[in-house]
């Protein structure tokens, strides 16, 4: 599908500078643009590429002033915020790629399931009895929806995602391939002989609206009650969320982070890659945790921490400077000890 510069400007509320009839059929980075593609310029360090780009259209900020001649084939669309507008176009483009409603075969939908309007269900998917699927939901191939699962409107399940029984998925969520929602929490207790006995996990998982779950990420069901991920929270690929964990609104976890059971994480928290949080602790709002940190205790609101065990990032950096100087400090200490010993022998 092609769009003209004037159509795009209408979508974005921008102004065309150049050929308003020129059409594009794809999006590209400005340094890689080709005829028939649209790019954007927001960061000044990429300005050099606008003078050589092959793209037919480029979105720029209203205050952009060329410092050299632009390609004769390039049309500009001036907007208030080029980055935000390009993101809007990416979302629009992504929506266009959504499959048309329908049910591919073979797939299984229980007669006791309730599927809303405008849904796409890919081949080899399985929707169990008692499941309630909202409107305009996309379920790609190989997805398993367990018994009594509830799914809100406009949610997307990518291939081979799994949702276990009784879980609740909100509106506008995205579950990527290989993600598992609602597997048993890690609950075992040794008996008198030291043999681990499984503790049944009878709770569920609740994902509120607009939650993103990355590929091969796992969110364990609660032992009792619910594991809860609040609205707007984003989990990267390969993240592990333990049983009875609660994540606040608009919190983000990078890849390979892991949170042990019953830990409570506040809102607007940012957790770097390979961070580990111990169980039964509380992380306050607006906390930032640097990559590879290990957190074993509660963290107050607004703290920035790093290290293993993690503590205040400023103190960590001071400590790290001292750590790097340890060999020098040890050599100086040895020299001092030697001088003291020599002076003692002379006396």
Residue whose structure tokens are 């005829």: 35
Active site residue 280: no
Torsion angle of alpha carbons 28, 33, 35, 39, nearest 10°?
50
E-strand spans in 164-269?
168-169, 174-175, 180-183, 188-190, 196-198, 204-207, 212-213, 218-220, 226-229, 234-235, 240-241, 246-247, 252-253, 258-259, 264-265
Tokens of 249: 């609104």
Candidate list 144, 158, 243, 280, residue with the active-site label:
243
Tokens of 129: 């009895």
Measured between alpha carbons, how far is 144 from 125 in angstroms, rounded to an integer? 6
Contact criterion met (CB below 8 Å) for 153 and 137: yes
Residues with a catalytic annotation lie at 243
């Amino acid at each position: 599908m092609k769009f003209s510069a004037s159509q795009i400007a209408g979508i974005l509320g921008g102004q065309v500078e150049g050929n308003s009839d020129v059409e594009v059929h794809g999006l590209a980075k400005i340094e890689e643009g080709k005829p028939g593609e649209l790019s954007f310029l927001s960061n000044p360090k990429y300005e050099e590429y606008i003078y050589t780009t092959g793209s037919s259209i480029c979105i720029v900020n209203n205050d952009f002033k060329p410092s050299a001649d632009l390609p004769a084939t390039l049309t500009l669309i001036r907007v208030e915020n080029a980055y935000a507008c390009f993101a809007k176009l990416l979302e629009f483009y992504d929506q266009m790629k959504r499959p048309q409603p329908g049910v591919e075969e073979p797939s299984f939908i229980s007669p006791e399931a309730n599927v809303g309007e405008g849904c796409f269900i890919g081949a080899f998917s399985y929707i169990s009895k008692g499941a309630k699927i909202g409107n305009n939901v996309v379920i790609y191939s190989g997805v398993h929806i367990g018994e009594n699962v509830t799914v809100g409107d406009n949610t997307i399940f990518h291939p081979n995602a799994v949702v276990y029984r009784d879980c609740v998925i909100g509106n506008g969520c995205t579950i990527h391939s290989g993600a598992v929602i609602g597997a048993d929490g890690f609950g075992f207790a040794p008996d008198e002989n030291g043999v681990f006995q499984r503790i049944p996990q009878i709770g569920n998982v609740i994902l509120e609206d607009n939650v993103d779950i990355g590929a091969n990420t796992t969110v364990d069901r609660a032992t009792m009650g619910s594991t809860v991920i609040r609205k707007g929270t984003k989990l990267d690929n390969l993240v592990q969320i333990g049983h009875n964990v609660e994540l606040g609104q608009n919190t983000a976890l990078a890849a390979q982070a892991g949170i042990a059971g019953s830990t409570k994480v506040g809102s607007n928290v940012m957790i770097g890659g390979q961070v580990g949080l111990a169980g039964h602790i509380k992380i306050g709002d607006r906390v930032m945790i640097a990559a590879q940190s290990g957190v074993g205790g509660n963290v107050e609101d607004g703290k920035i921490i790093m290290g293993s065990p993690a503590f205040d990032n400023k103190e960590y950096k001071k400590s790290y400077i001292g750590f790097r100087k340890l060999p020098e400090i040890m050599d100086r200490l040895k020299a001092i000890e030697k001088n003291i010993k020599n002076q003692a022998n002379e006396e």
